[in-house]
Amino acid sequence: MTKYDETSIKILEGLEAVRKRPGMYIGSTDKRGLHHLVWEIVDNAIDEIINGYGNYIKIVLHGDGSITIADNGRGVPIGMHESGKSTPEVIYTILHAGGKFESGNYKVSGGLHGVGASVVNALSSKMDVLIYRDGVISNIRFTDGGKVESPLKKVGDSNKTGTVVTFMPDYTIFKNCSFSYTTICERMQESAFLIPSVTIEVIDEESKREVKYHYDDGLTNFVEYINDGKNTLHKVLNFSGTKNDIEVNVALQYTDTYNENIVSFVNNVKTSDGGTHEVGFKTGITKAFNDYVKNNNLIKGKDNTFDGSDVREGLTAVINLRIPEASLQFEGQTKGKLGTPEARSITESITYEKIKFFLEENKEIALNIVEKALKSKVAREAARKAREEARNGKGKNKLEKNLSGKLAPATTKNGKINELFLVEGDSAGGSAKSGRDRKFQAILPLRGKVINAEKTSVEEILKNEEINTIIHTIGAGLGSDFIVEDSAYDKVIIMTDADVDGSHIQILLLTFFYRFMRPLIEAGKLYIAKPPLYKIDYGKKHFYAYSDEERYKIVSENTGKPDISRNKGLGEMNPDELWDTTMNPDTRTLIRVNINDASLAEKRVNVLMGDKVEPRKEWIEENIIFTMEDNYRVE
Ligand code: 0R9
């Protein structure tokens, strides 16, 4: 029998606190939270490798819902801790214990909260740790959210070193969730880009998929990967520099697209909300180009400078800074924004110098980029003019007349509550117009195919009827002139059928919003409606199921013989049905589109929209299941 003394009670209380409020420690108990557990353990392995020990990480997803993460570092120390417990027991049962052991100047471990392995243990029904160190293999096992099932003991001899952690998440906490091979692969690939010495292997035992990531040229390979399938204007430019102990590493490349894609990291942790380093980088680039065009007299006329957005059109860049822990400052709710002031000036001056040199040394490339930036400048000015005209009610051109015919506006104007439904096809549009609450819901039926925004210039975008209608209806401009506060709607909701065509339109619209109205997504105002997949009738009782699980649940909870029909398209639903199932704010389910990971979203869009058919087919086959839930939640 295990004896509980005062300290073990305290420990259990600590872990119990995690189980009571998991959200406080890992953000949420949905799929994102579940994966957070993996990142916590993987980050420990990555820390060890960054500190110079080991070069290999292996992740295995088991068919029973458990996962194993292994590294070939030194192995967690197996000696006794001053508390009388073994070091691994302390690490895996005491909150924040890992922090006390952190070594080195750079705090490298990532994760949203950085709370460590004990939190993972607290939220697992089983955890098993194998340590290869000092010529022996040691094992400790936990159960039921961190209770010691078997204390550290020797289980064999080995001259290898490393740590192997296997855990079974407590699925009573993470309900209806499972590990996603794709999500784990995407994150591991990113880590492999940032740490060129590491090899990361991911294996899914159930689907028999496996992959190995290793990149000798780190950030350069990262940029090449993002730009895969695009036409590039030059070889990847790679530079770095150090000042006041802050190390700046950058890889960048221009493409012939209209997209800007800057991804930044600090100590290998993604800074999703940018921060001082990104600001410095952008200022450095803008200054370098403006100096170059000025010195070479390349822009005629009075207004002869570029806006930052002009010189970033078509630019893909990955920035990684190493900052000593003492100078680290993060801001924002999710701590995803770098606040360290020196990072700005240091990144700016290094970027400015290197880009200036690059432009001077590569005249032909420089002129190509300048020409592209000039086009952006012209288009930007045209877009602003068009926007001003639209605002002042001028320029009643053909498109706008068209627009007024198609849109069924809400009867009251209130950008804080109004909703705009972008609906596929006229017949669904008709049902939606009749079924809606006209006070605050507007319907815009879309005809034909939305153009592919990734491969189209601003000028062409402005000419496309569908897109033009959307821009004018939302009324907040586009591109760098988009002002989210001006949006006539609080929610823009994409409502398409749950089939291949519907998905295609969704992706095209998402690409458009991602490219031209990104702040709308960042403000959490873009949604995807979720129509039901099945209608289940028991005589006079009707149910709607939005997933297969829900369908089974409804059938298991009712008696009698159900009449189950796979849902018809939106257009075939009658207005009441559409209102009840998909549009009524009290009963509907909406998926909020979020871009947590711009580079991956960009990559997906690129694979899906690029010229190459093979990668697109592969990606769709591997990742798109037409149940709506997962595919388009750009996370
Ligand atoms: C499979 C996932 N890997 C790990 O969780 C992992 C943790 C870890 C580790 C050390 C080596 N490898 C590891 N893998 C380690 C760290 C230190 C000294 N020796 C070994 C050190 O930081 O000084 N540890 C992480 C924390 C600790 N070890 C401990 F020291 F706190 F126990």
Closest by CA position to 191, among listed 164, 214, 166: 214
How many other C-beta atoms lie within 10 A of the C-beta of residue 378? 13
* Structure tokens that stand for 553 in this block: 């649940």
How many A from CA of 43 to the centre of ligand 1? 10
The answer to whether residues 239 and 318 touch, using CB atoms and an 8 Å cutoff, is no
Every domain of the chain with CATH number 3.30.565.10 lies at 16-212
Atom of ligand 1 nearest to the CA of 165: 1
Range with the poorest average pLDDT among 13-17, 48-52, 368-372, 390-394? 390-394
Q: Does 190 participate in catalysis according to the annotation?
A: no
Strand ranges (E), 66-133: 67-71, 124-133
Residue with the two structure tokens 């149940």: 627
Phi, psi of 415 (to 5 degrees): -65, -10
The answer to whether residues 198 and 214 touch, using CB atoms and an 8 Å cutoff, is yes
Atom of ligand 1 nearest to the CA of 88: 32
Phi, psi of 321 (to 5 degrees): -110, 145
Does residue 103 carry a pLDDT above 50?
Answer: no
Range with the poorest average pLDDT among 143-152, 169-178, 325-334, 417-426? 325-334
Compute the chain's Rg from CA coordinates: 27
- CATH class, domain 16-212, is alpha beta
Question: Of residues 206, 256, 501, 622, which has the active-site annotation?
Answer: 501
Q: Is 200 exposed, middle or buried (0-12, 13-18, 19+ CB in 10 A)?
A: buried
Any ligand 1 atom below 6 A from CB of 529: no
Closest by CA position to 37, among listed 207, 235, 177: 177
Residue with the two structure tokens 């001077």: 360
Any ligand 1 atom below 6 A from CB of 94: no
Range with the poorest average pLDDT among 1-15, 167-181, 309-323, 460-474? 1-15
Residue nearest to atom 20 of ligand 1 (CA): 76
Strand partners, 337: 331
Range with the poorest average pLDDT among 404-408, 471-475, 514-518? 404-408
Strand, helix or coil at 447?
Answer: coil
Give the residue with greater pLDDT, 504 vs 495. Answer: 495
The answer to whether residues 334 and 32 touch, using CB atoms and an 8 Å cutoff, is no
pLDDT at 73 (0 to 100): 96
Return the CATH fold of 219-378: Ribosomal Protein S5; domain 2 (3.30.230)
The answer to whether residues 609 and 511 touch, using CB atoms and an 8 Å cutoff, is yes
Any ligand 1 atom below 6 A from CB of 74: yes
pLDDT at 634 (0 to 100): 32
pLDDT at 97 (0 to 100): 59
Look up residue 255 and give its DSSP letter.
B
Cα angle 384, 390, 391; round to 5: 90
How many A from CA of 70 to the centre of ligand 1? 12
Every domain of the chain with CATH number 3.40.50.670 lies at 394-532+581-634
Any ligand 1 atom below 6 A from CB of 73: yes
Any ligand 1 atom below 6 A from CB of 285: no
Every domain of the chain with CATH number 3.30.230.10 lies at 219-378
- CATH class, domain 394-532+581-634, is alpha beta
Q: Does 424 participate in catalysis according to the annotation?
A: yes
The answer to whether residues 594 and 523 touch, using CB atoms and an 8 Å cutoff, is no
How many A from CA of 419 to the centre of ligand 1? 51
Tell me the whole-structure pTM to 2 decimals: 0.71
Any ligand 1 atom below 6 A from CB of 163: yes
Any ligand 1 atom below 6 A from CB of 41: yes
pLDDT at 598 (0 to 100): 43
pLDDT tens-place string over residues 120-172: 999 999 999 999 999 999 999 999 999 999 999 999 999 999 999 999 999 99
pLDDT at 468 (0 to 100): 83
Does residue 523 carry a pLDDT above 60?
Answer: yes
Question: Of residues 256, 437, 499, 576, which has the active-site annotation?
Answer: 499
Residue with the two structure tokens 């257009």: 571
